[in-house]
Amino acid sequence: MQNEKVSLDSRKNAYYAILLLGIVSLMGDIVYEGSRGLIPSYLELLGATAFIISFVGGLCDFLGYVFRLVSGFLVDVTRAYWLFVFLGYGLIVAIPLLGVPLGLEAAIVLILTERLGKAFRSPSRDTILSVISMDVGAGKAFGIHELLDQIGAILGPAIVTFLMLFTANYNITFSFLFIPFLALMAVLVYTYKKIGVKTVSVELQETEMRRTVLPKVFYFYTFAVLLNTIGLLPYTIILLKASETLKPTGGEWLVPLTYLLIQGVDAPTALAADSPTTSLE
Q: How far is CA 79 from the centre of its chain?
A: 21
How high is the pLDDT of residue 212?
62
Confidence of residue 1 (pLDDT cuts 50, 70, 90): very low
Reduced 3-state DSSP string for 66-123? HHHHHHHHHHHHHCCHHHHHHHHHHHHHHCHHHHCCCCHHHHHHHHHHHHHHHHHHHH
On the question of pLDDT at 6 being above 90, the answer is no
Segment 226-236, tens digit of pLDDT: 777 766 666 77
Residue 125 is given by DSSP the state H
For a pLDDT cut of 70, what percent of the chain falls above it?
A: 81
Domains, in order of start, for the chain: 13-271 (1.20.1250.20)
Q: Is 28 helix (H, G, I), strand (E, B) or coil?
A: helix
Segment 255-271, tens digit of pLDDT: 888 788 777 765 565 54
Residue 269 is given by DSSP the state G
More confident residue, 205 or 178: 178
More confident residue, 5 or 257: 257
Q: What is the pTM of this model?
A: 0.82
Q: What is the DSSP string of 192-257?
A: HHHHHHHHHHHHHHHTGGG--PPPHHHHHHHHHHHHHHHTPPPHHHHHHHHHHHHHHHH-TTHHHH
Q: CA 38 to CA 55: how far, in whole Å? A: 16
How high is the pLDDT of residue 278?
40
Segment 77-122, tens digit of pLDDT: 888 899 999 999 999 999 999 999 989 999 999 999 999 999 999 9
Q: What is the average pLDDT value for the chain, to the nearest integer? A: 81
